[in-house]
Amino acid sequence: MKIIFLLLIAQLGFASWVYAQEGAPQEAPYVQDENEFDVFSNEGAMSEEADAAGIENEISKPGEAKDVINLNEASDKKIEDELILEEDNKVAIPQEAAPYQEPVVEEVKPAQKIRRSGKTTRSAKGGVEYIHHPQAEKGLVLITKEGAYIYKTEESNSYKHSGAFRFGTMDAPQITAADGTTTFAQMYSGSQLPVISFDFDWQPFQGFGKLGMQTGFSLMFASGNGRFANDGQQAEEKYTFIAVPLNLGLTYRLEIWDRQWLAPYISGGGTYIGVMEMRDDGKSPNIVGTPGAYGGGGLMFNVSAVSRETRYTLRTEYGIQNLWVSADFKYLKTFSEDLDFSSAIVGGGLVLDY
């Protein structure tokens, strides 16, 4: 019996040793039981082994050919939309506020009341009524069918200045050359001498007519060939003759009414005539002069009195009060025997009042 008992104990001890070698050591008093974590761990291990086997099978299998992409074909719109990058967020730039401006308050004056005349006047054909217009106080006299306003303007007759441009001719001066035989008319080939005059009048006295002072100057010119002193034959040298009379005197115009159509005038005073004779051969010119006097008169016709429109245009656009056309006569007398310019001057011109 003892031997059998010892054998059982030895067998149990051997079995315990074998179990201890196969299983993990466990602390007392816990006993390892089967639970859900062991099941999951076993399944996880099995899935990992299956995945590894699948990967090996895929590696061992030959790769399938991928689809060829044709760039000439239209791409999928959805793919393009997915590839479009979103725009960056726009940053709003702060704007400065406009400066505050105080509103301008304008005072509105009440409109003037239209005054109607008590008496109504109609035209001969009827249908036209003449009433009082607010602009009548400013000179409005008529409104045309086209809407043009016609005003009555006040004309000022306080002008005291006049300017004249005249053109005329005179006899050739009585001048004899150094040979004693050649005259001015022979040397300069002409018996008449053209004269251009510019006169300026100042008329401070305007009682019965207009009385004032007159100043101005004239131009006389001629050209010709020289003469030989021994035989008087024509030379090749060219001569130019210029005379400049300087005038100062008085003038009177018989102008009594406004816009007078005709106005006679007279004038007279002293003059000094400067003379210069130039040559084209380079020699020095000859310069001489002589005093004298003049007197004359004429008749002026008022062009601006003919047309109201012309008169208005001249006055408003150019400041000309009257435009005259004149016919003139003047007699010139000099006091030198060597330079005798004594002659009558006949001509005409334009006279401007301003």
In the three-class reduction of DSSP (H, G, I as helix; E, B as strand; rest coil), residue 143 is classed as strand
Domain membership flag for residue 232: yes
Same domain, 259 and 340: yes
Residue range 210-234: average pLDDT?
A: 85
pLDDT score at 65: 47
Same domain, 126 and 188: no
Domain membership flag for residue 89: no
pLDDT digits 0-9 by tens, 25-78: 544 444 444 444 444 444 544 555 555 555 555 555 555 444 555 555 555 555
Integer Cα distance of 89 and 81 in angstroms: 18
pLDDT at 140 over 70: yes
pLDDT at 192 over 60: yes
Domain membership flag for residue 295: yes
Same domain, 215 and 192: yes
pLDDT score at 37: 45
Please tell me the total count of domains within the chain. 2
Confidence of residue 318 (pLDDT cuts 50, 70, 90): confident
pLDDT score at 2: 60
Q: Where are the alpha helices (DSSP H) in 145-294?
A: 184-187
Same domain, 247 and 127: no
Chain centroid to CA 216 = 40
pLDDT score at 282: 80
Contact at 8 Å (CB) between 252 and 313?
A: no
1 compared with 200, residue with greater pLDDT: 200
Lowest model confidence (mean pLDDT) among 34-38, 123-127, 146-150: 34-38
Same domain, 329 and 244: yes
Beta bridge partners, 86, equal none
Beta bridge partners, 244, equal 274
User: In the structure encoding, which two tokens stand for residue 247, read together?
Assistant: 């005038």
Domain membership flag for residue 285: yes
User: In the structure encoding, which two tokens stand for residue 122, read together?
Assistant: 């109609």
Domain membership flag for residue 17: no
Give the residue from 342, 239, 230, 236 showing the smallest Cα distance to 291.
342
In the three-class reduction of DSSP (H, G, I as helix; E, B as strand; rest coil), residue 31 is classed as coil
Same domain, 261 and 313: yes
Tell me which of 151, 173, 200 is where a domain ends: 151
Domain membership flag for residue 20: no
Domain membership flag for residue 73: no
Lowest model confidence (mean pLDDT) among 112-126, 241-255, 305-319: 112-126
Same domain, 129 and 235: no
Lowest model confidence (mean pLDDT) among 33-42, 79-88, 295-304, 325-334: 33-42
Chain centroid to CA 261 = 42
Same domain, 128 and 232: no
Lowest model confidence (mean pLDDT) among 28-32, 212-216, 341-345: 28-32
pLDDT digits 0-9 by tens, 84-106: 555 555 556 666 666 767 777 77
Same domain, 134 and 183: no
Same domain, 341 and 219: yes
Q: What's the start-to-end Cα distance of the chain, in Å?
A: 176
pLDDT score at 294: 97
Domain membership flag for residue 260: yes
pTM of the model: 0.56
Domain hosting 127: range is 121-151
CATH code of the domain covering residue 338:
2.40.160.20
